[in-house]
Amino acid sequence: MENLYEKTISKEQIYSGKVIDLYIEEVELPNKKIGRREVVKHPGAVAVLAVTNEGKILMVEQFRKPLEKTIIEIPAGKLEKGEDPLECAKRELLEETGFACESMESIGSFYTSPGFADELIHLYYTNTLIKQGDQMTDEDEFLNVLELSIDEAKELMKKQQIHDAKTAYSVMYMELTRALKK
């Protein structure tokens, strides 16, 4: 099959919210039949793999309403309108952990749920942390900061306390870096 494109026939906005918008799109499928796609629009996000002088990974423990539980993730947040992802990553790291950094590099980006959402997450790495002060989280954001070794993080993955894609990817990134050094 050559052409996989799905042309939009009609588009209806179901919801416009603080974090996401929801659309239903009627599309023409490659076989010319009509299909229906549910599309969540998201502004995009950043996440930061931040490693301390002691080689520990900065993580935040946060209650996630969709999961009805608290999980441990790398610092992350939504892009503000028009915000540069690198600036957003520095801002979120400072707000959530109180750490600034001298430099930060991109280690990739990925769509989290391409089947129903356009959320693109930009992942950054830093090991040049400078403690600036306390957390300065948003008014509806509550979290605890942790510093974990790679092996502690792997243990928490087994216990499913670390249980999200960006953090699992980041822990494996650290493990691969360690394996390639040996």
DSSP state of 32: S
Q: Could you say whether residue 10 binds a copy of itself (CB under 8 A)?
A: no
> Residue 139 catalytic?
yes
Buried b (16+ CB within 10 A) or exposed e, 26-50: ebeeeeeeeeeeebbbbbbbbbbbb
Contacts (CB under 8 A) with a copy of itself, residues 16-55: 17-20, 22, 24-25, 27, 29-31, 33, 35-42, 45
Q: Could you say whether residue 169 binds a copy of itself (CB under 8 A)?
A: yes
Considering the candidates 2, 95, 139, 141, report the single residue annotated as catalytic.
139
Rounded to whole angstroms, how far apart are CA atoms 172 and 151?
A: 11
Rounded to whole angstroms, how far apart are CA atoms 171 and 76?
A: 15
Determine contact, residues 47/121, Cβ cutoff 8 Å.
Answer: yes
Q: Could you say whether residue 65 binds a copy of itself (CB under 8 A)?
A: yes
Of 28, 95, 152, 164, the one binding a copy of itself by CB under 8 A: 164
Determine contact, residues 126/48, Cβ cutoff 8 Å.
Answer: yes
Tell me whether residue 1 or residue 103 sits nearer to a copy of itself (CB atom): 1
Contacts (CB under 8 A) with a copy of itself, residues 106-145: 108-119, 121, 139-140, 142-144
Contacts (CB under 8 A) with a copy of itself, residues 86-105: none
- The residues that are catalytic are 139
